[in-house]
Amino acid sequence: MTARSSSETARDIPEATVARLPVYLRALTTLAEGGTRTCSSEDLAAAAGVNSAKLRKDLSYLGSYGTRGVGYDVDYLRYQIAREIGVTQDWPVVIVGIGNLGHALANYSGFRSRGFRVVALLDADPARHDEVVAGVDVRPFDDLEQIVGDQSVAIGVIATPAIAAQDVADRMVACGITSILNFAPAVIAVPDGVDVRKVDLSIELQILAYHEQRKAQSA
C-alpha cells in the first residue's frame, strides 16, 4: 500500500477473474450510488450475479482488501479494482468505420465514464469526412498513423465491414496499437503481443438459438 513496487501488483491474475473484475467494479459503483458504504462478499456477489466464494477468491488475487467479520469498504475496494484493471488512468481510443455501429459507439457515454477517451473517428469513405459525431470529427483513415503516433494510442476499435477488418488491423498493428476490439464478423490474425477481443452478436444470437431449439425439442 505504501510504495508501488514492481512486484506488488505483478501477480498474474487468472483470465477468468480479469473478465469479472469490471463486473464487480460496476456493481460497486451501483452500490456506492445507492449510499452503501460497506458490503459483504455475499451482497456484492448478489449484485454482480456470481457465487460469493468465487467473488472472494477473485478478490484474493488482488490482495486482502476486506475486513473479516465486517466486509469490504465499497469506495476503497472500488479504487483497488479500478487501479488493478487500469481504469484510473486515461486510455485514448480510435474507432475505425463510422457507419451504423461506429456512430452508436461514438455516441456511447459509457466509454468516457470508464476512462476511455475517443480521440479519433476514422473512415475510408470521403462522404463521411465532413461529419462531426459526439464532438469528434470524422477523418480519413489514412490519418491513422499520425493520430496514433501523436497521441500514443494503444487501443483500436474496428467497426468496418468484415472484408476490411484484416487490413485495418494490419495498419493498426503497424503503427503501434497493441489492443484491438473487433466488431466485424471476421477472424483477424495479429502478431504475438497484440490482444484482440471480438464482439459478435450474430454468434450470440446463434448460441441462444441453439438452446432455444433444444428447449423446443425436449418439450
Ligand X SMILES: NC(=O)c1ccc[n+]([C@@H]2O[C@H](COP(=O)([O-])OP(=O)(O)OC[C@H]3O[C@@H](n4cnc5c(N)ncnc54)[C@H](O)[C@@H]3O)[C@@H](O)[C@H]2O)c1
Partner DNA sequence: AGGAGTTTGTGAACGCGAGAACAAAACGAG
Partner DNA sequence: CTCGTTTTGTTCTCGCGTTCACAAACTCCT
Q: Which of 61, 115, 129, 147 touches its own copies (CB under 8 A)?
A: 115
Judged by CB under 6 A, does residue 148 bind ligand X?
Answer: no
* Residue 64 binds: one of ligand X, its own copies, DNA, none (C-beta under 5 to 8 A by kind): DNA
Q: According to the annotation, is 97 in a ligand binding site?
A: yes
Q: Which is nearer to ligand X, 108 or 210 (CB)?
A: 108
Least spacing, CB of residue 14 vs DNA, in Å: 3
Least spacing, CB of residue 102 vs ligand X, in Å: 5
* Residue 123 binds: one of its own copies, DNA, ligand X, none (C-beta under 5 to 8 A by kind): ligand X
The CA distance from 207 to 157, in Å, is 24
Judged by CB under 6 A, does residue 155 bind ligand X?
Answer: no
Judged by CB under 8 A, which stretch of 35-43, 61-69, 71-79, 184-192 contacts its own copies? Answer: 184-192
Q: According to the annotation, is 163 in a ligand binding site?
A: no
What angle (nearest 5°) sits at the alpha carbon of residue 65, between those of residues 59 and 70?
105
Q: Which is nearer to its own copies, 27 or 122 (CB)?
A: 27
Query: By the criterion CB under 6 A, which residues form the site for ligand X?
Result: 96-102, 104-105, 107-108, 110, 123-125, 128, 141, 159-162, 164, 167-168, 183-185, 201
